[in-house]
Amino acid sequence: MITVTGSINLDIVATGPTLPRPGETVTNARLARHPGGKGANQALAARRLGADVRLIGAVGADDMAEEALKLLQAGGVDLSGVQHINGETTGVALIAVAADGENLIVVCPGANKALRPADVTKQSITHMMGVLEISADTLLAAAEVATGFVSLNLAPAMAVPDALLARASLLSVNETEAAFYGDALHAQGALVAISLGGEGAALYRDGREIAREAPPQVQVVDTVGAGDTFTAALTVALIEGMPERDALRFAVTAGALACTRPGAQPSLPQRAEVDRLMRETWR
């Protein structure tokens, strides 16, 4: 069982021809609403890739909560650890997506910020995944409870306690986040994954690159959710015992598939899709 401690949002997505520059208004966009949040995305991604998954998180006591949890519930994620908090709104992400798939995101965390260490310290956690759209103190509490593999996606980039980094088996970041954390990423001996957008991803151990893989070529529709899919897939593969290079191939393949459909959670691939594209790409 993988326990994900993280955020739950409702994504409100405007897809248009271009992204606005500061002070610019862009029109002729299409509007859509999808369940999201990095914690929820990674929980559903791991579930679709074959893991048993429980999510610990928080939503508001409002009409957006049911919509935000809909695909998780339908997908078989255990939601017994999700709180509905009076006086808080369900988290919302406002997302602008351009025709080439690039995006800008503004997050209103709402109930996600109300998740506290006390909400996880009494939980039984074996393997764990966590993201920084909730407080670092809450993530640390969950990581200290975990008895197995601890995967931390250090996004969005922010200062975190060394004690949290020290608990990690895997740290995953993109290039921007890697630059923010610098040498601290490699100081505690965890496996480090750095995603490189369309160029794929690389794995590091003790600051030394041990694997690098480019993704399969796909028709990109929307990159929202690709990073969450990559992180979940890499975590699932390593927990299953795949060799590190094979796990990285599995993760970049899953991330590529997530780019072929719009929305975060609607785009998350099933295990059979990933396995099929793996066979086609690396014969």
Active site residues: 228
Hey, what amino acid is at 250? F
Residue 64: strand, helix, or coil: helix
Q: Rounded CA gap, 231 and 243, in Å? A: 16
Q: Are 110 and 90 in contact (CB under 8 A)?
A: yes
Angle among Cα 105, 120, 263 to the nearest 5 degrees reads 25
Where do we find the tokens 């895997």?
Answer: 170
Residue 2 to residues 43, 50, 55, 56, 160, Cα–Cα distance (Å): 8, 11, 9, 11, 22
Cβ contacts of residue 60 below 8 Å, gap of 6+? Answer: 84, 85, 88, 89, 90, 110, 111
What b/e readout covers 104-120, taking b as 16+ CB neighbours within 10 angstroms?
Answer: eeebebbbbbbbeeebb
Q: Are 10 and 36 in contact (CB under 8 A)?
A: yes
Residue 114 to residues 19, 47, 170, Cα–Cα distance (Å): 32, 25, 26
